[in-house]
């Protein structure tokens, strides 16, 4: 797929160089050098003049020095629940067009509890949940157990370990204390959904958005006691633990997920690409988990490219389509 644009393009990323502090999932959201090069190669194949720039404090100076006119943004940012908004906000300030959603969307969606409340206001079903702040682990409302616990403002499975399911209040209290010590942020506590798990990719913007058929994450075996959890470890070693099916065999629920994904995407004002995750309850009703407007793009690894491949879209064409969707806004 050819993309028409004559200005210089930057692929802006946070890159995992393996120089973190040793915390197992510290840089889980950062892209590997191999992924960055794969995306850059695809953009070049589409006809764009691309240079790779890391999203550090000197990003404004680098963008100016390179005379960048368009940014393909995959930067996760550094620090805080607004980190994914850092680069979009900067690019908006500098009046440089970029791919993906704007700073407001990035901030809202990284806050899982806030995004779930937003989705509920549009009639999208989600599992019962509460948000617990450090020091308030004893102030938990009555909930149906088991529950799953995860950091409220993380992605890529960060903080979702092999010990994230609590069977009762005592287990939950102990789990919260451990997670507060490790992640220094609010924790999302959700009633655990025992049904099947799906992810839905979206490509485009507004009326032109294409919703991919839901892709099922099928577990080969329980990953945590009797439960199946898509934890950080499982994502890192997914070929040992899961396989993917698309489309699956539940047409009514698939339609509900597809429409819910479209509703959330458009209500938030997402642009160009996103991935929406669902899990079914014990009665087979799909419930919204979260939306990621900055989904991973690692070839042969990330869910979003796999979902695109299932509908016949090659990796090169997927990257080009994201760029084309973003560049179309420049012309309007």
The pLDDT tens digits for 187-217 are 999 999 999 999 999 999 999 999 999 999 9
150-190 per-position pLDDT tens digit: 999 887 566 677 678 999 999 999 999 988 988 888 999 99
The pLDDT of residue 327 is 95
The pLDDT of residue 23 is 47
Q: Is the pLDDT of residue 249 over 90?
A: no
Q: Is the pLDDT of residue 5 over 50?
A: yes
| Integer angstrom CA distances of residue 257 from 39, 190, 214, 287 | 29, 19, 7, 8
CB 270 within 8 A of CB 276: no
CB 63 within 8 A of CB 9: no
Q: How far apart are CA 68 and CA 94, in angstroms?
A: 11
Radius of gyration for the chain, computed over Cα atoms and rounded to the nearest angstrom: 20
- The pLDDT-based confidence of 12 (bands split at 50, 70, 90) is very high
Could you give the angle at which helices 103-110 and 86-94 cross, rounded to 10 degrees?
170
Q: What structural domains and CATH numbers belong to the chain?
A: 8-99 (3.40.50.20), 108-125+194-330 (3.30.470.20), 129-191 (3.30.1490.20)
Q: How far apart are CA 11 and CA 75, in angstroms?
A: 9
Closest by Cα among 117, 153, 151 to 267: 117
The pLDDT of residue 331 is 65
Per-residue DSSP letters for 57-80? TTHHHHHHHTTEEEEEE----SSS
| Integer angstrom CA distances of residue 288 from 46, 77, 228, 262, 315 | 34, 25, 17, 12, 27
Across residues 81-106, what is the average pLDDT? 96
Query: Among the listed ranges 12-16, 78-82, 155-159, 279-283, which one has the minimum average pLDDT value?
Result: 155-159
Per-residue DSSP letters for 75-104? ---SSSTTGGGHHHHHHHHHT--BSS--HH
291-330 per-position pLDDT tens digit: 999 999 999 889 999 999 999 999 999 999 999 999 998 8
Contacts of 36 (CB under 8 A, 6+ apart): 11, 13, 15, 52, 74
Query: Residues for the chain: how many in total?
Result: 332
The pLDDT of residue 232 is 65
Across residues 133-140, what is the average pLDDT? 88
| Integer angstrom CA distances of residue 249 from 196, 229, 305 | 12, 21, 21
- The residues with which 49 forms a beta bridge, in sequence order, are 8
Percentage with pLDDT > 90 across the chain: 69
Closest by Cα among 86, 103, 156 to 296: 156
Query: Among the listed ranges 19-28, 109-118, 143-152, 242-251, which one has the minimum average pLDDT value?
Result: 19-28
Across residues 141-153, what is the average pLDDT? 92
- The pLDDT-based confidence of 235 (bands split at 50, 70, 90) is low
CB 87 within 8 A of CB 107: no
* Token pair for 22: 């040793």
The pLDDT of residue 244 is 86
Contacts of 226 (CB under 8 A, 6+ apart): none
* Token pair for 128: 């019962």
Query: Among the listed ranges 21-25, 49-53, 101-105, 113-117, which one has the minimum average pLDDT value?
Result: 21-25
Q: How far apart are CA 74 and CA 305, in angstroms?
A: 14
The pLDDT of residue 30 is 85
CB 106 within 8 A of CB 29: no
Helix, strand or coil, per DSSP, at residue 121: helix
């Amino acid at each position: 797929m050819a993309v028409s644009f004559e200005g210089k393009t930057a692929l802006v990323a946070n890159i995992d160089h393996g120089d973190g502090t040793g915390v197992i999932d510290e840089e889980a959201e950062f892209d590997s050098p191999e992924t960055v090069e794969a995306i850059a190669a695809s953009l070049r194949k589409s006809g764009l003049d691309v240079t790779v720039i890391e999203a550090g404090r000197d990003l404004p100076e680098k963008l100016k020095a390179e005379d960048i006119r368009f940014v393909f943004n995959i930067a996760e940012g550094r620090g805080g629940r607004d980190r994914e908004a850092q680069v979009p906000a900067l690019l908006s300030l500098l009046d440089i067009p970029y791919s993906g959603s704007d700073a407001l969307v990035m901030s809202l969606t990284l806050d899982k509890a806030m995004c779930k409340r937003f989705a509920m206001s549009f009639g999208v079903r989600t599992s019962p949940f509460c948000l617990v702040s450090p020091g308030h682990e004893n102030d938990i409302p009555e909930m149906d157990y088991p529950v799953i616990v995860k950091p409220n403002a993380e992605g890529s499975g960060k903080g979702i370990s092999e010990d994230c399911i609590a069977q009762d209040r005592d287990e939950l209290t102990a789990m919260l204390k451990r997670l507060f010590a490790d992640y220094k942020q609010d924790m999302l506590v959700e009633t655990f959904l025992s049904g099947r798990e799906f992810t839905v990719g979206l490509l485009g913007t507004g009326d032109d958005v294409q919703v991919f058929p839901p892709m099922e994450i099928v577990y080969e075996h329980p990953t945590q006691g009797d439960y199946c959890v898509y934890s950080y470890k499982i994502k890192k070693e997914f070929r040992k633990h899961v396989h993917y099916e698309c489309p699956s065999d539940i047409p009514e629920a698939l339609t509900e997920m597809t429409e819910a994904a479209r509703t959330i995407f458009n209500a938030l004002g997402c642009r160009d690409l996103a991935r929406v995750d669902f899990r079914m309850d014990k009665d087979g009703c799909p419930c919204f988990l979260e939306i990621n407007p900055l989904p991973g793009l690692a070839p042969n690894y990330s869910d979003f490219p796999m979902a695109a491949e299932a509908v016949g879209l090659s990796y090169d064409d997927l990257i080009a389509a994201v760029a084309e969707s973003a560049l179309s806004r420049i012309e309007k």
